Amino acid sequence: MYVAVKGGERAIDNAHAWLAEDRRGDPEVPELSVAQIREQMRLAVNRVMAEGSLYDPDLAALAIKQSRGDLIEAIFLIRAYRTTLPRFGGSRPVDTGTMACDRRISATFKDAPGGQVLGPTFDYTHRLLDFKLAAEGTVPPAPTADPLPETAPHIMGFLDREGLIQSEPEGPDTPPDLTRSPLELPAERALRLQALARGDEGFLLGLAYSTQRGYARNHAFVAELRIGTVAVEMDIPELGFAIEIGEMTLTECETVNQFTGSKTEPAQFTRGYGLVFGMSERKALSMALVDRALRWKELGEDDSGAPAQNAEFVLYHSDNIQATGFLEHIKLPHYVDFQSELELVRKLRAQTAAGGVTATATAAQDCETGS
Amino acid sequence: MSDYNFAYLDEQTKRMVRRAILKGLAIPGYQVPFASREMPMPYGWGTGGVQVTAGILTPDDCLKVIDQGADDTTNAVSIRRFFEKTAQVAVTEKTSLASVIQTRHRIPEEPLHDGQILVYQVPIPEPLRFLEPSEVETRKMHALEEYGLMQVKLYEDIARHGAIATAYAYPVKVEGRYVMDPSPIPKFDNPKLSMAAIQLFGAGREQRIYAIPPFTNVVSLDFEDFPFDPSKADHACDLCGASDSYLDELIIDDAGGRMFLCSDTDYCATRCAAGEVGAQRMTLTEGAA
Amino acid sequence: MQTQSLDGGFHNAPIEAAYAFRAVMRAMACPGTIVTLAGAEPPAPLSRAAGVVVLTLCDPETPVYLAPSRNTAAIRDWITFHTGAPLVAADRAAFGLGLWSELGQGGFPLGTAEYPDRSATLIVELPQLAAAGATLQGPGIETSAELSLPEIAAFQANARLFPRGLDYLFTCGDRLAGLPRTTKVR
């Protein structure tokens, strides 16, 4: 039995071999290609890119294949790869006002310039299993229309023009980078948003839902939800101007929330904001609600003690790679610390049985540090 | 693994880790924040220790990795392999031959000597965390040297149990200033924390590095009338007969029979090789066949 | 930028920096211990040890202060080219580099009560460095050690700031010794 504890090395090799076999599944069934995952599991790919903080659909698809569809494992693979990449520079901020929208809806105005565009959404599908998909088949092409005008103005801009929505202060020139410097509290909004953008979708969904049910209630109207592609530009010092280095799909959500105001300041709506890689609508909405809840202090609201208001709680627990690692580490051997507790409990029980040591009021007047 | 840099981390990350280590050594027991990177192994599985080890390794090093005192537990094997691949360093199971030892949950039984480095993997570096969950608050407490909360906790233990009910990760005070978590080592190991080797602590997920230079004054918190007690199981090792080592307890049959073995496998193997024999050595050898 | 500023860096940075750091770490962990550094050929009058420390620890994230004696075009270019460290005034510096007569004046970040690690590390170039002179005691020292410090009072005052305070690396030629804020100097 002592021997069984040994041989960790071979056990690891064999486990890896078994894992590889299991990942492939029945070899009679054709193998998935990375391109198939990229094209047909697009929302999974988007989530992996968003929470992996790396915009690369092919790598995300590869990670999903390698992780057998475990998206948190796939996110982990992407994060570990991302951290080894050299940095050539920072892009200019992307301008979502120039987004080529595939989807753009507002819950606050029936119509607005640019129109309401449903886009490829599950929203009004009846959730009935489509057994036709179980068989192979081609999909007829969707009807097309003329493209939308070049840019659709942000709905929020109309409220802003009237002074109805709180204006935001300019952020720092160079935003803080969560992946290059340790999280420091209190965290400013730029850092909070950064953490939320890569935070776990499920965790943020739960927090956002809790705000809707009264834990830091800030009734949110979706002023606008837009999904589409934006250009990514980078200043090239040698050239003296910016060039477009690519484009990416983003989901942006702006919410109009509970208004503030006082005797001296007129009533104004406040904002929540969500921005996520890819088509990640649930995540963008959740992010906007949690962002708004975290702003209680700067907006002069009360701390109701709700989890979504506690920046330290939210930021320290939203990262699923940190969370899953620490959660799963309890699988590792803890013989030593468990043994020490075992001995302590046995000793305490023996003392009790012997009617021995009981506390004295003078036990601990000051904490000595002598050994 | 020529695709990756020596010891995996890029040079800028290593510099950041190295600067944190130096400040840690200059302020013993103080947790230096560092921008922990995502490692190719899960948080909670030694990423802090691995980053510290990657920051200090040279090609001349001889590395030993233990988990629960053993060189052959799976995570120790995995981390040792990682550095064999990425830093091409020599590895050993002999405590005395290692120049760098990465550990989880134990300090080797054999006293470490000048020039050795012990790197701990730390899950929760903040000794006050389970008393005060907020980082903002605990940072203030360290700044003000306000450790009343810890005193109250230890006192309540005594009031309730008649003894301090902390068996591992037993808090210490370093050089009379910072209260520090020695990582989840059994309190049996606490007296060894004042040693000749350099001790470095890495908490990856929590983004903290801290250190104890050689010959630093490290004392376990206690009370005059309830002095610190580094006790362990009242047995000798059934394999090598050692009565001075920390023991693993094994359940050996359906009737709940027990056996006690050194948790430090190198210590045990060295004693066995020298001819020391414990009470159940014969049983074991037969069982292994 | 002159071509000489491109020379004198590490030939194999990951390996040379690893050896250099281990030596610097030992010096900081064991005050009074004198170690030898190799791998860099910085422009005069920067000592080799100081140059190696800069290459090993400095980068764009660490603002560096150059005292007048080290604030030459050649040294500025060399540091900028090899490390990318921004050159700043003393009160913003993570590292200070110069003679004791220059650096001893103070003005460097001492860290805060909550973040005592945010203090400067000073690289002090000395005309001689020997294990003789002031008596050192504290963490890293088994009983006591001796080191040829340029003075005593300033280091005693620094130690009284603990846990805030400056940390020192003394350099001379290719040799280096460390003096963290914890060391008690007599």
Q: Which residue has the tokens 């009560």?
A: C113
Give the per-residue pLDDT at A360: 43
Nearest to residue A197, comparing CAs of A120, A155, A251?
Answer: A251
Same domain, A260 and A171: yes
Whether residue C11 lies within 8 A of chain B, CB to CB, comes out as no
Q: Does B251 touch chain A (CB under 8 A)?
A: no
Q: What is the pLDDT of residue A6?
A: 56
Per-residue pLDDT for B186 more than 50? Answer: yes
Per-residue pLDDT, C137: 98
Domain of residue C61, CATH code: 3.40.50.11310
Count CB atoms within 10 A of the CB of residue B288.
11
Is B250 near chain A, with CB under 8 Å? yes
Q: How many domains does chain C have?
A: 1
CB contact under 8 A, B33 and C13: no
What is the tens place of the pLDDT at every residue in B24-45? 999 999 999 999 999 999 999 9
For residue B287, pLDDT beyond 50: no
Q: From the CA of B6, how many Å to the nearest CA of chain C?
A: 6
Among the partner-chain residues A5, A329, A369, the one whose CB lies closest to the CB of B221 is A369
Residue A205 lies in a domain: yes
Q: Which domain holds residue C137?
A: 3-185
Contacts of C55 (CB under 8 A, 6+ apart): C9, C10, C13, C16, C17, C20, C39, C40, C82, C83
- A354 lies in which domain range? 337-369
Strands B90-91 and B117-121: unpaired
Pairing between β-strand B222-223 and β-strand C134-137 as defined by DSSP bridges: unpaired
Q: Which of residues 147-186 of B touch A (CB under 8 A)?
A: 147, 150-151, 154-155, 158-163, 165, 167-169, 173, 176, 184-186
Instruction: Kindly state the average pLDDT of the residues B78-101.
Output: 96
- Three-state SS at C80: helix
Touching partners of C (3+ C-beta pairs < 8 Å): B
Question: Chain C window 64-123: which residues touch B at a Cβ cutoff of 8 Å?
Answer: 94, 112-117, 119, 121
A52 and A108, same domain (yes or no): no
To probe the interface with B, which of C11, C12, C28 has the most B CB atoms within 10 Å? C28
The residues of B annotated with a catalytic role in the active site are 29, 237, 240, 262, 268
Query: Which tokens belong to B122?
Result: 């730390």
Other CB atoms within a 10 A radius of the CB of residue A22 amount to 9
Same domain, yes or no: A309 and A209: yes
Please check whether residues A151 and A65 belong to one and the same domain.
Answer: no
Contact B33 C115 (CB under 8 A): yes
**Predicted local confidence at residue B283, as pLDDT:** 55
Q: In what order do the strands lie in the sheet with C134-137?
A: C145-147, C134-137, C184-185
A148 or B14, higher pLDDT: B14
Neighbours, chain B (3 or more CB pairs < 8 A): A, C
Residues of B (45-74) whose Cβ lies below 8 Å from A: 45, 47, 67-70, 72-74
Out of B136, B224, B246, whose CB is closest to A368?
B224
Which of A305-314, B102-111, B224-233, C1-10 is predicted least confidently?
C1-10
pLDDT value of residue B284: 53
Q: Is A125 on the interface with B (CB under 8 A)?
A: no
- Of residues B159 and A291, more confidence is placed in A291
Residue A332, in any domain of the structure: no
Asked whether residue A285 falls in the same domain as residue A344, the answer is no
> In angstroms, what separates the C-alpha of B180 from chain C's closest C-alpha?
14
Q: Which residues of chain A have pLDDT under 70?
A: 1-7, 356-371
Residue of chain B with shortest Cα separation from A340: B167
> A110 and A78: one domain?
no
Same domain for A205 and A234, yes or no, is yes
Chain B residue with the nearest C-alpha to that of C143: B215
Q: Side chain identity at B272, as an amino acid letter?
A: C
3-state secondary structure chain A: CHHHHCCHHHHHHHHHHHHHHHHHCCCCCCCCCHHHHHHHCHHHHHHHHHHHCCCCHHHHHHHHHHCCCCHHHHHHHHHHHHCCCCCCCCCCCCCHHHCEEEEEECCCCCCCCCCCECCCCCCCCCCCCCHHHHCCCCCCCCCCCCCCCCCCCCHHHHHHHCCCECCCCCCCCCCCCCCCCCCCCCCCHHHHHHHHHCCCHHHHHHHHHHHHCCCCCCCEEEEEEEEEEEEEEEEECCCCEEEEEEEEEEEEEEEEEEEECCCCCCCEEEEEEEEEECCCHHHHHHHHHHHHHHCCCCCCCCCCCCHHHCHHHHHHHCCHHHHHHHHHHHHCCCHHHHHHHHHHHHHHHHHHHCCCCCCCCCCCCCEECCC
Amino acid A72: pLDDT: 97
d(CA A90, CA C153): 47
Task: Closest CB to A363: pick one of B159, B188, B247.
Answer: B159
Q: What pTM does this model have?
A: 0.91
C15 and B CB contact within 8 Å? yes
What are the helix (H) ranges across C84-163? 100-103, 153-160
The pLDDT, as a whole number, for residue B289 is: 39
Q: What residues are paired with B173 via a beta bridge?
A: B179, B219
User: Is B256 near chain A, with CB under 8 Å?
Assistant: no
pLDDT at residue A87, as a whole number:
80
Nearest residue to A253 via CA among A298, A208, A308, A301: A208
The pLDDT of residue A95: 94
Q: Cβ contacts (< 8 Å) between B249 and chain A: which residues?
A: 335, 339, 342
Same domain, A283 and A303: yes
B106 vs A: CB within 8 A:
yes
- Give the distance from residue B212's alpha carbon to the nearest chain C alpha carbon, in angstroms: 8
Mean pLDDT value across chain C: 96
CB contact under 8 A, B6 and C14: yes
For B:11-50, CB contacts with A below 8 A are 33-40, 42-45, 47
A88 has a chain B CB within 8 A of its CB: no
Mutate to test the interface with B, among C21, C24, C53 (most CBs of B within 10 A): C21
**How many domains does chain A divide into?**
3
Mean pLDDT score of chain B: 93
Question: Within this chain, do residues A168 and A293 fall inside the same structural domain, yes or no?
Answer: yes
**Which of A219-228, B153-162, C162-171 is the least confident region?**
B153-162
Mark out chain B residues that contact chain C at CB-CB < 8 A. 5-7, 11-12, 14-16, 18-28, 30, 32-33, 55-59, 139-140, 142-144, 175, 177-178, 196, 198, 211-217
Residue A65 sits in the same domain as residue A204: no
Question: Shortest CB distance from A312 goes to which of B135, B158, B227?
Answer: B135
- C70-118: pLDDT as tens digits: 999 999 999 999 999 999 999 999 999 999 999 999 999 999 999 999 9
Residues of C in contact with B177 (CB under 8 A): 162-163
Helix (H, G, I), strand (E, B) or coil at C175: strand
Helix (H/G/I), strand (E/B), else coil: C5: helix
Residue B233, min C-alpha distance to chain A (Å): 6
Q: Give yes or no for residue B261 having a pLDDT over 80.
A: yes
Indicate the pLDDT class of residue B206, thresholds 50, 70 and 90: very high
Q: For residue A351, give the nearest of B162, B188, B247 by CB distance.
A: B162
Same domain for A171 and A315, yes or no, is: yes
